[in-house]
Amino acid sequence: MPENLKQPMPAAMQAYLTQLHQVIVPYLLAQGVTPNAINAREALANLTTAFVTDAPNMAKIIDTVLVTPSNFRGYNVPLRLFVPSNCPLPNEQAAADVPVMVYFHGGGGMTGSVTVYDKLYKKLAEATGCVVVAPEYRLAPENRYPAAIDDAHAILTYLTATLQQVGYACNGKLIIAGDSGGGAITATLVQDWLANRVNTDLAITHQILIYASLDYTMSQPSIEENGTGYLLESSKIRWYFDNYFSAYDDRELSSPFWTDMATLLHHSPYQAPKTLHLTAGYCPLRDEDIGYHDVLQAAGAPSQLIHFADMPHAFLNMENLCPDQCKQPVSYTHLTLPTIYSV
């Protein structure tokens, strides 16, 4: 448990949240606006566009589609690869061996896209030196659970062939990362891989969970403590889940938080990946993220937690309001990952 769960927010962040919840949201409600997939997606896109306004140049950006066999009956996931300046360009003669990170964008399983996260992907690629693979995975309510998980399974199964087609290889090792709802996909994919439920030739060496949604029962104290006035509200989380899951899905059974990790790791044929958690003091998901870190450590899995006591959920999408804090996650990530090919 972090020593200080909360510290005062930066003035610019507090001013924005005050205006959002005391002026903008009441105005929209008075106009009769009700949440749906369209305006939820617009809200995340507008937020990110307004507050993440610069990004480094990439050596190359590659658009492709997951390479699958002719008898594959799933969704051929569109992918965008962000190649940072320090990575070799694709080689037509032989596949260039590079560190690879698959990053699932956030958005509650309903919102977000590769385009919305474009600048965030570029910053992460340049800071870590990884080729960042950004999947355009399927979203609810058009495609409910487990469609996004199925897409993640397919990516893990067919990523090697897809990388080879565009001139890259990853030496059989992979980093999986995601924020918010993308963190939920990340944690589930890693657990399914550990349980040998995914057919793949890749080993997941690291997972990065950034204010991840891990407990779909919404039973942790911070859901109520931070559930009003800090951007992501508990009522919106519940609305996301109601659109993401069907009425027949068992939300506790589906939650990464409630998995018996000690038993899973005991029976797994694989070594647990190193996990980096980034948590935020004013995030309603804070306690499930800290709790999951504790669960992993108790099960003997290597896990590190970095806590931003003065930040709300999704602060990386609001960089201009907290530039100093947004520089830290990528630097922590950079420090954690350089030894990926020595583990």
Give the per-residue pLDDT at 340.
Answer: 32
Residue 2 lies in a domain: no
Give the per-residue pLDDT at 232.
Answer: 98
Give the per-residue pLDDT at 341.
Answer: 29
Structural domain span for residue 154? 11-66+73-85+97-342
Residues 292 and 271: their CA atoms lie apart, in Å, by 18
Residue 245 lies in a domain: yes
User: What is each CA distance from 85 to 47, 58, 128, 223, 307, in whole angstroms?
Assistant: 28, 6, 11, 40, 29
Residue 200 lies in a domain: yes
Q: What is the CATH number of the domain that holds 304?
A: 3.40.50.1820
What the block records as the tokens of 275 is: 């996990």
Residue 321 lies in a domain: yes
pLDDT above 60 for 31 = yes
Residue 265 lies in a domain: yes
Mean pLDDT score of the chain: 93
Condensed to tens digits (0 to 9), the pLDDT of residues 289-299 reads: 999 999 999 99
Q: How many domains does the chain have?
A: 1
Residues 25 and 23: their CA atoms lie apart, in Å, by 6
pLDDT above 50 for 338 = no
Condensed to tens digits (0 to 9), the pLDDT of residues 138-149 reads: 999 999 999 999
Condensed to tens digits (0 to 9), the pLDDT of residues 76-103 reads: 999 999 999 989 888 755 677 899 999 9
Residue 6 lies in a domain: no
Beta strands in 87-172 (DSSP E): 96-97, 100-104, 131-135, 168-169
- Give the other-Cβ count within 10 Å of 334's Cβ: 15
Condensed to tens digits (0 to 9), the pLDDT of residues 177-228 reads: 999 999 999 999 999 999 999 999 999 999 999 999 999 999 999 999 999 9
Residue 26 lies in a domain: yes
What the block records as the tokens of 279 is: 């948590």
Give the per-residue pLDDT at 172.
Answer: 86
Residue 205 lies in a domain: yes
